Chain A
């Protein structure tokens, strides 16, 4: 059930079995799991059911290291959390991601991929992945496009899936079920500002919540779980410094350290020997009932031999300007929306308007041509395919293939081989754990009196070397196979990073997992070392950043934690 915390009288004490702080992917998963039990659950959510600027401004903080997104845009504080603006890219971690690698400091999770195997299939369903299959060979068979003919013992292709945009937010998907759960009370607009422990600092008595309207209350529970994201989890622990001056769970000074991202930037370029090098597999495309996307990376064997961290390379075609202009055409976007609409989901807004704007074009599809483009006109392949699909009643397949600019997109969809000027290499790094990359508390305070977070994002030499060496090896294989030549744009002897360096909006490592309290904030069960009733959920517990994308693993870990808590609270 949902409640508005603004109506809770000041100084009230809510008593419960389990208190979950935060209602994003991890918090919602935990609450859902516990909703099928007899455990009484109170969930404290900072925001309401929709975005509100004053609440989200509580995320504001300073950036002191490498340039990073403004913190108030990097996470969302309302029901559903950051799933409300999630990009939907999914891939589980590989077994090797959990293992200790001697050349990567502080690598090695206390759990292995096998510990998460029972939870990943459900996690895939929860996040909305259509097909829980990550086997390259099977996806090769399903995709209309080939992978590049590179030697698998050196360069491999990994696959990710993109969850449909309307499926990404947990809020609409799980709100009704949580609202109907009699043992789950979700208090909206409740901002936790302090974690109160007993005098020993080894047991949490209660958390203090405040609303922007001014009322304050506490929640006393047997067990508490922080699920507020990689920056806020650390901020809350650090700010709760009444008993221990370093904050809660921070006896070894690790809270907030080892902040990791998946840094990404354009690190180079491929000049293909054949400008029609088929790279359709490496762009988002429909295959086997999902949206698939391939990346190039070193094989695990090569990464181990070279002692590198994982670097994934996305191939981003750079087209002739005339072709690019066609692909960027608003008409193409409109028809994509139409295709989505026709796929049987809820109508998108303004779809009727879009339809009226393109209907004239639809009637004249036989005149399909690309003005100034390098493609022969008319496009016999496109026309033939349109006829074939139309006869088969495949409207969804027909519409993106229709005409003009749209034919360009259609041609690419059919062949995956529009002639390219070059191929940009968009790299994504498994950032090396780095104690100097950290979240601390600044001196400025937010509207509730809490010290704001300060993020000092820092990368290590191994991050740079991994990108360069990965591209060198890829360049060598492209040359050896005659597919093209590769340029690396990252300098070895440099302290600077490319201007377009950005993260993947992934906040990891600030309450890292280790069985040794000297090396981690939480143990293998996500329990804060030295505190008998405090747990952390979310990617802040990641020991290393991994080669996957975090959301599925966040949910798998939350499912595992829920099972543990059911036992602990029984």
Chain B
């Protein structure tokens, strides 16, 4: 019983490791538990949720390569408002945990809905909500 089956070559393994460069943006989204922000600027407030912000921005740039029409904060915010209920109120008055929970719930809904609510970014299957959040970090 080999732990690494035939076919998972060293090259593949390194590709897997390299994938983290791109995926770190998602990791930043998932792992963010610090960094509460008092900013009321919605773009800054949302981007501050991402602990690994530079990784998120790198991933966000990949997202915008796929969706260049969304390469502005205004467009991304409008799109996020369409999938995250009550976003403006949460940005103004919610806690970071409230915001994270709302974005996480919206992302899960995207996955459940499928179709256009999911996109592929350099092969990664991601929810549009989380992808737009990363894109926001890229344009902020």
Contact = CB atoms under 8 A, between A and B. Distances in A.
Interface stretch (A2-10, A170-178, A475-483, A520-528): A475-483
Nearest to B125: A475
Q: Which of B108, B111, B124, B125 has the most CB of A within 10 A?
A: B125
B114 interface: yes
B4 A268 contact: no
Contact of A268 (B3, B114, B123): B123
Interface residues of B, number: 34
Contact of A422 (B19, B107, B122, B125): B19
A284 B1 contact: yes
Interface in B81-140: 104, 107-108, 110-112, 114, 118, 120, 122-127
B35 interface: no
A412 B122 CA distance: 32
A479 B107 contact: yes
A485 interface: yes
Contact of B16 (A318, A471, A477, A486): A318
A476 B125 contact: yes
Contacts of B127: 479
A214 B30 CA distance: 72
Given A273-B30, A488-B120, A317 B3 contact: yes
Contacts of A481: 108
Contact of B108 (A317, A426, A482): A482
A152 to B, nearest CB: 16
B4 A316 contact: yes
A231 interface: no
Interface string A271-311: 10100000000011000000000000000000000000000
A31 interface: no
A316 B9 CA distance: 12
B8 interface: yes
A476 B114 contact: yes
B3 A319 contact: yes
A336 interface: yes
A283 B4 CA distance: 10
Contacts of B107: 479
B8 A266 contact: yes
B124 A487 contact: yes
Interface in B1-42: 1-5, 7-9, 12-13, 15-17, 19-20, 23, 26-27, 30
Interface in A407-446: 412, 421-422, 424, 426
A486 B124 contact: yes
Interface in A466-513: 471-473, 475-482, 485-489, 500, 502
A237 interface: no
Nearest to A317: B3
A314 interface: yes
B26 to A, nearest CB: 6
Contact of B125 (A265, A266, A486): A486
B1 A336 contact: yes
A209 interface: no
A480 B108 CA distance: 4
Contact of B126 (A265, A485, A502): A485
A75 interface: no
Interface of B: 1-5, 7-9, 12-13, 15-17, 19-20, 23, 26-27, 30, 104, 107-108, 110-112, 114, 118, 120, 122-127
A471 B124 CA distance: 10
Contacts of B17: 421-422
B33 to A, nearest CB: 14
Nearest to B124: A487
Interface string A324-354: 1001100000001000000000000000000
A554 interface: no
B19 A271 contact: yes
Given A271-B23, A476-B125, A485-B124, A283 B1 contact: yes
27 contacts: A266-B7, A266-B8, A269-B16, A269-B19, A271-B23, A273-B30, A317-B3, A317-B4, A319-B4, A421-B17, A422-B17, A422-B19, A424-B4, A424-B8, A475-B118, A476-B111, A476-B118, A479-B125, A480-B108, A482-B108, A485-B124, A485-B126, A487-B23, A487-B122, A489-B15, A489-B123, A500-B7
Given A473-B114, A485-B124, 12 more contacts: A269-B19, A316-B4, A319-B4, A328-B3, A422-B19, A472-B118, A479-B118, A482-B108, A486-B124, A487-B124, A489-B123, A500-B12
A265 B7 contact: yes
Contacts of A264: 7
A314 B19 CA distance: 20
A485 B114 CA distance: 14
B111 A479 contact: yes
A314 B118 contact: no
A426 B114 CA distance: 24
Contacts of B26: 271, 485
A485 B125 contact: yes
Contacts of B111: 476-477, 479-480
Contact of A318 (B8, B23, B124): B8
Given A424-B12, A486-B125, A488-B123, A314 B3 contact: no
A269 B20 CA distance: 11
A486 B4 CA distance: 18
B80 to A, nearest CB: 17
Interface in A119-166: none
Contacts of B16: 269, 318, 421-422, 424
Contacts of B8: 266, 316, 318, 424, 426
Contacts of A422: 16-17, 19-20
B104 to A, nearest CB: 8
A314 B5 contact: yes
Q: Which of A269, A273, A284, A476 has the most CB of B within 10 A?
A: A476
Contacts of B2: 328
A479 B108 contact: yes
Nearest to A336: B1
Contacts of A273: 30
A160 to B, nearest CB: 14
Q: Which 10 pairs, one residue from A and one from B, show the smallest C-beta to C-beta distance?
A: A475-B125, A480-B111, A479-B111, A327-B3, A487-B123, A422-B16, A500-B7, A476-B111, A284-B1, A487-B124
